[in-house]
Structure 1
Amino acid sequence: MSINLSKGQKISLNKEAGSSLSKVVMGLGWDGVQSRGLFGFGGGRAEIDLDASCVMFDAERNPIDTIWFRQLQSRDGSIRHSGDNRTGEGDGDDEQISVDLGRVPGNVQSLVFTVNSFTGQNFSQVENASCRLLDGASQREIARYNLSALGDHTAQIMVKLYRHEGEWKLHAIGEPGYGSTFRELTPHISQHL
């Protein structure tokens, strides 16, 4: 059974999964807002290019590596991005970032997942946006966080996976921000490490 996360909520991955997880997948899904044509007929969904990114941090809050549409794999090979979806079309996850928790280097304290509107549309033009954490082995959904907070922001710090007393935990951050890539959010991320 999946948990619907609220802003600020923290969970233990092992406890919620019911066992020790070795791999997880962070999925991002979204749709453009449905527009109406003349006299309520026609129209269509706006194409929105949201991008999921993952920034790896050490215990001193220094960024170590970033996985995003221009670098689809971490240098150590523990994290992989599924590739860029430029429209949000289709059902399910539009982008995924897979994490092999056992291969994440020991000096990495936290993994922060962000979403940015690369084309600059704000979140008032996005609907059905969510991120979800899956068990990488079974593809079972462990937790889901709704990102469809209407507003003029163009980015969001979604969630953080972090090490705590020998296990991985998840923190739903949900902090809105601005910028077309993770780089503009980096100064704000440090407040949540």
Structure 2
Amino acid sequence: MTVNLGKGQKVDLGKPGGGTLEVVRMGLGWQAAPRKGFLAKLMAREIDLDASAVLFAGRKPVDVVYFQHLNSSDGSVRHSGDNLTGGAGQGADDESITVHLGKVPAQVDQIVFTVNSFTGQTFQDVENAFCRLVDESTGQELARYTLTGGGRHTAQIMAKMTRAGSGWQMTAIGAPTNGRTFQDLIPDIEQHL
């Protein structure tokens, strides 16, 4: 059963009936919003949203996974590759980041997931955008956060996973910000640690 998260909501990442998750996938999907008017349709560009995962030890970023660095240094976090156009929207993931929870180094206590518009369009140009967390062993969607509200921002800090005892917890953040790459977002990410 999927939990639809609102900003600030948390969900524990344990398996229903007990046990811990081993591998989770954070999926991102989006579509370009339809343009109105003849000239707007002619001038429309594809929208390249990029998913990133920044790994933190305390408040210090220690690794990142994104379209130009597809695997964390230790191999515990993996990016599916760059999707330059989107299109899945409500359906499948356009980009995804897989996390092998048991392999994440002990010093990493938070993983923050972001999305940014590499091509610079704002979220007014995007529709049906979402991030979701899936139990990779069963394919079951555990949580979904809909990136709503459009807005004149070019990025969002979507969610974070935090170590909680021997397991993990996911928190929906949904904070709008601006930047074309994850590096641009680091100062804003630090406010949510």
- TM exceeding 0.5: yes
| Cα separation, 2, equivalents of 1:143 and 1:18 | 17
Change (3 A) 1:110 1:78: same
Q: 1:16–1:36: structure 2 CA closer, same or farther, 3 Å change rule?
A: farther
In the TM superposition, residue 136 of structure 1 has moved relative to its aligned partner by: 1.2
User: After superposition, what is the alpha-carbon deviation per residue over 1:47-98, rounded to whole angstroms, capped at 9, x for unaligned?
Assistant: 1000000000002x10000000000000000000000001003441000000
What residue is the counterpart of 2:57 in the other structure? Answer: 58
- Corresponding residue number in structure 2 for 1:33: 33
What secondary structure does 1:34 align onto?
coil
Which residues of 2 match residues 28-177 of structure 1 at below 5 A?
A: 28-36=28-36, 38=38, 46-59=45-58, 61-90=59-88, 91-177=91-177
Cα separation, 2, equivalents of 1:72 and 1:155 = 20
- SS of 1:189's equivalent in the other structure is helix
Give the match for residue 181 of structure 1.
181
Unaligned runs of 5+ in 2: none
Q: Percent identity?
A: 53
CA contact (8 A) 2:50 2:117 kept: yes
Q: Please report the RMSD computed on the Cα atoms of aligned residues, expressed in angstroms.
A: 1.8
Q: Gapped runs of 5+ residues in structure 1? A: none
Deviation at 1:8, TM superposition (A): 0.4
Render the CA deviation track for 1:16-43: whole Å, top value 9, x for unaligned: 68541000000000000112454xxx88
Provide closer, same or farther for how the CA distance between residues 139 and 15 of structure 1 changes in structure 2, counting only shifts above 3 A: closer
Contact 1:32 1:45 in 2 (8 A): no
Count, aligned residues: 189
